[in-house]
Structures are given as structure tokens and as C-alpha cells.
Amino acid sequence: QMGSGFKPFVYTAAIDRGLTPTTILIDAPVSYPAGAGRPPYSPRNYDGKYEGTVTLRHALEQSRNVPAVRTMDQIGARLVLEYARRFGFQGPMEPYLPVALGAAEASLLETAAAYAVFPNQGVLVKPYQILKVLDRDGNLLEENRPQLREAIRADTAYVMTSLLRGVVQRGTGAAAAALGWPLGGKTGTTDDYTDAWFTGFDPDLTLAVWVGHDDRRPLGTPETGATAALPIWMDVMKAYIEKRGDRQNPPVFDAPGNIVFISVDRVTGQPLSA
């Protein structure tokens, strides 16, 4: 299960439906009917606390559960699943609100490919493992080339990239900020600590890390994405950055021409006066 690693796809659908990083969301207790004879579904935040009104950016950076569920309810669960399919997720997903918190399952390869859409300006690249096959004389027998498909608009991808950079700069993935490199990503943790994720990227490379047991035994408390998966991700990314040898000239996330930058109050989301 993806845990909170699925939230970016909820917010991608929301951004395309007119929400912005400064849209105010409600982080307060809520219950939804779950059908005849069943108790209502009452999502809770990981820390058991509620912050009232928060911006969409803050909700994602701090991985607040209730705002994500409320957002999925607002825009429609079926729409969110439609977006998940655009990102290449193939496994079973039902249009139920717990999917907003990662109740659905996904493979590590699917997740890495899906997150790569954000820094790749909205383009999904179908993963492949064999580049080419040559015979003993060097004759080309088979060659695979990237299969590209536009999953989301480039401007939406850039907004989501910005939001996921905030996760690394100020949120649940803040430990990765120590690498001093342009990075974005998201933690993922399941309720029973069976799955711990961190999936992230720079402008050129996307890397996904999952920690868990094949038989779905719990990892133990509190083995979250930030404590179990993120350190591994950082070790690999640190080696990658050092191998590049251009720390003084890092790559950049290119913004589409229709992106407008405005300074806002981080709490209220309101524009700051010049």
C-alpha cells in the first residue's frame, strides 16, 4: 500500500479543477457514511491533532490526512482514480475515500514512473529494462525506445513539483534538504507500519524506495517513510550527486511560460503587499 505517497495524485486532480497551493482546506474532524450496518468512516491525522484551516501546500508538506480526504470528497473519488490511471497505475483501485490515504496498492516501479511525471513536465515514460540486444558480432537484434505519453499538463506538473519541493524544504521529507540540491518528493506510511516509502526526484532522476516485508509483517513503531525509507533514498541520492560532479551548477526545474509567482503569507495564503 502506498500510504501518504498517493496524496500527490489527489492534489494533482484538485489543481486541475481550480484549486491552488494557497487554497484553504479544512483540517478538522469529519465523518462519512460507510453504508448500511457499518460505522462511519472518520479519517484521522497521524499525530491525532487538527490544525483548523490550512493551505493546500501546508496540507501536503505536513501530510495531513483529513484535508486530503476532504479534497477527494470535494472533487470526486472517481476523478482521482481517473488521474491515477493517467499516471500509469494499473492495479485495482476502488472509488472509496480511504484511497486518498494510500489504501490502494502499487508496485515500486509504477510509483517511480508516476512521480517522474512531475519533473518531466507532465510526460509519462513507460518503464523498460532492456535497452538493446546485440549478437556476438555486434549486430542489433532488438532495441527499445522510450514510449512517451502526456499524463497531465506541463503547468500542473510544475505546480505539483513546487509543492513536492516544499515537502523536502519544510515538510515530512525535510531531512533531505541537508543534501543541498534541488529535490522534491513525498513520504508514505501505512497505518500498521507494514510499508514505508520515500519517492523523490531532482530535475533529471526519479528514485523510489520501499521498505517492508514480503508477508506484510509490521516493521515496528514508528517505522515511517521518513525514518525507514528516506535515509536510504538520501544515501543513494548523495552518491548520485557526488558522481555528477556539478554541485556548484545544479540542474533546475524549468517553469512553463504561463506560471506566475506571487509571494504569499504561508499561513493564510493571502498575497503579501509589495
Rounded CA-CA distance 210/251 in Å is 26
Side chain identity at residue 92, one-letter code:
P
Rounded CA-CA distance 229/260 in Å is 34
CA 256, 197, 9, 174 torsion: positive or negative? negative
> Could you tell me the pLDDT band of residue 36, with boundaries at 50, 70 and 90?
confident
Bridging pattern class, strands 206-212 and 132-134: unpaired
Burial group, residue 198, by CB count within 10 angstroms (0-12, 13-18, 19+):
buried
pTM equals 0.93
> What pLDDT score was predicted for residue 34?
83
* Per-residue pLDDT tens over the stretch 68-84: 999 999 999 999 999 99
The distance from CA 134 to its chain's CA centroid, rounded to whole angstroms, is 38
> What pLDDT score was predicted for residue 274?
60
> What pLDDT score was predicted for residue 98?
94
Burial group, residue 202, by CB count within 10 angstroms (0-12, 13-18, 19+):
buried
Cβ contact 209:197 at 8 Å:
yes
Instruction: Return contacts of 37-44, CB within 8 angstroms, 24+ apart.
Output: 41/97, 41/98, 43/69, 43/97, 43/98, 43/101
* Per-residue pLDDT tens over the stretch 208-244: 999 999 998 999 988 999 999 999 999 999 999 999 9
Cβ contact 256:154 at 8 Å:
yes
* Per-residue pLDDT tens over the stretch 111-153: 999 999 999 999 999 999 999 999 999 999 999 999 999 999 9
Rounded CA-CA distance 256/34 in Å is 42
* Per-residue pLDDT tens over the stretch 2-16: 999 999 999 999 999
